[in-house]
Amino acid sequence: MSPTSTLPNVEDLNPQKRLALIQVLGAITYGELKAYNGAMEQSKLVESEQDKKIYRKIAAEELRHHKGFSRRLEALGADIERAMAPYKDSLDSYHSSKVTDPIAGAVAGYLGEGIASDMLNWLKKVSDVETSQFIDTVIEDETEHEQIAIEKLKDLIASTPLGWLKAQIGVQQMLFRMIRASNPSSVKGPRSFGAFLKLGRSNDLVYALTTGMSKRVLSLDLGPRPLKLPKFAGKLPGLAFASPR
Ligand SMILES: [Fe+2]
Ligand SMILES: [Fe+2]
């Protein structure tokens, strides 16, 4: 039995489930558009032709995801712009907060791809059969994006003085930006994301997002480590300096 064979067709969805699915797809569809814009921007910032090619390919894939989810919204009888509207404030706010440190930017890129994959793995189990089949093709791309993101991040950490510390700070900054962008005082804030909890298997979603993020942070090996100070041949003026080795 194929994993999607137990899922309903669009016409079999009850009205509450259809509405929750439209709301969730609205968030995902807008998120894919933001991912496309971000990859295009990145393709202009990187210097090597090879990197430009990588980000242009990622951008093309994100655009395919955006268009594919837009078509699923249409299949559900939804207006695409109306479905995306409640999520624009939060996602625009998150993506517009400037990250100046390249490592913090790479951390956000890597963890962001991971969140997308975790969310899609949940969504494919609670959506209609055709959306679920489309999501399988998206996850294939997202897995590759995540791999590219972690390789770039690990290279950066290894080649930057105190790179691991900057990555730790990057994780905290990302969490802060996520909380700030959710804007608890706005009706377009967390309440818009309530549809995610109404669609089904909400425990699976919460579990996947929280464990997914900590698993990825742990995989970066960002635990505390001894600070290696430079050796000094003599005394600094006015200061008896004990070299660590
Ligand atoms: Fe995507
Ligand atoms: Fe992606």
pLDDT in tens, 64-89: 999 999 999 999 999 999 999 999 98
Q: pLDDT above 70 covers what percent of the chain?
A: 84
Q: How far, in Å, is the centroid of ligand 1 from the Cα of 237?
A: 56
Q: How far, in Å, is the centroid of ligand 2 from the Cα of 61?
A: 8
In a domain, 235, yes or no: no
What are 117-146's pLDDT values in tens digits?
Answer: 999 999 999 999 999 999 999 999 999 999
Residue 42 makes CB contacts below 8 A (sequence gap 6+) with 55, 58
- Domain CATH number, residue 21: 1.20.1260.10
C-beta atoms surrounding 50 within 10 Å = 8
Q: Which ligand is nearest to the CA of 138?
A: 1
Band (pLDDT 50/70/90 cuts) for residue 100 is confident
Band (pLDDT 50/70/90 cuts) for residue 245 is very low
pTM, full prediction: 0.85
Helix H, strand E, coil C: the string for the chain is CCCCCCCCCHHHCCHHHHHHHHHHHHHHHHHHHHHHHHHHHHHHHCCCHHHHHHHHHHHHHHHHHHHHHHHHHHHCCCCHHHHHHHHHHHHHHHHHCCCCCHHHHHHHHHHHHHHHHHHHHHHHHHCCHHHHHHHHHHHHHHHHHHHHHHHHHHHHHHHCCCHHHHHHHHHHHHHHHHHHHCCCCCCCCHHHHHHHHHCCCHHHHHHHHHHHHHHHHHHCCCCCCCCCCCCCCCCECCECCCCCC
In a domain, 229, yes or no: no
Tokens of 74: 């249409």
In a domain, 5, yes or no: no
Band (pLDDT 50/70/90 cuts) for residue 239 is very low
Rounded CA separation 238/236 (Å)? 6
In a domain, 55, yes or no: yes
Q: How far, in Å, is the centroid of ligand 2 from the Cα of 240?
A: 52
Average pLDDT over the chain, rounded to an integer: 87
Residues with CB under 5 A from ligand 2 (ion): 142, 145
Q: pLDDT above 90 covers what percent of the chain?
A: 68
**Which pLDDT does position 14 carry in this prediction?**
93
- Expressed as residue numbers, the domain containing 205 is 10-219
Q: Is the per-residue pLDDT at 190 higher than 60?
A: no
Q: How far, in Å, is the centroid of ligand 2 from the Cα of 54?
A: 12
Q: What are phi and psi of 22, to 5 degrees?
A: -60, -45
Q: How far, in Å, is the centroid of ligand 2 from the Cα of 35?
A: 6
Average pLDDT over residues 203-223: 87
In a domain, 243, yes or no: no
Q: Is the per-residue pLDDT at 104 higher than 60?
A: yes
Q: How far, in Å, is the centroid of ligand 1 from the Cα of 40?
A: 13
| Cross-strand partners of 106 | none
**Which pLDDT does position 243 carry in this prediction?**
38
Provide the domain count of the chain.
1
Q: Is the per-residue pLDDT at 193 higher than 80?
A: no
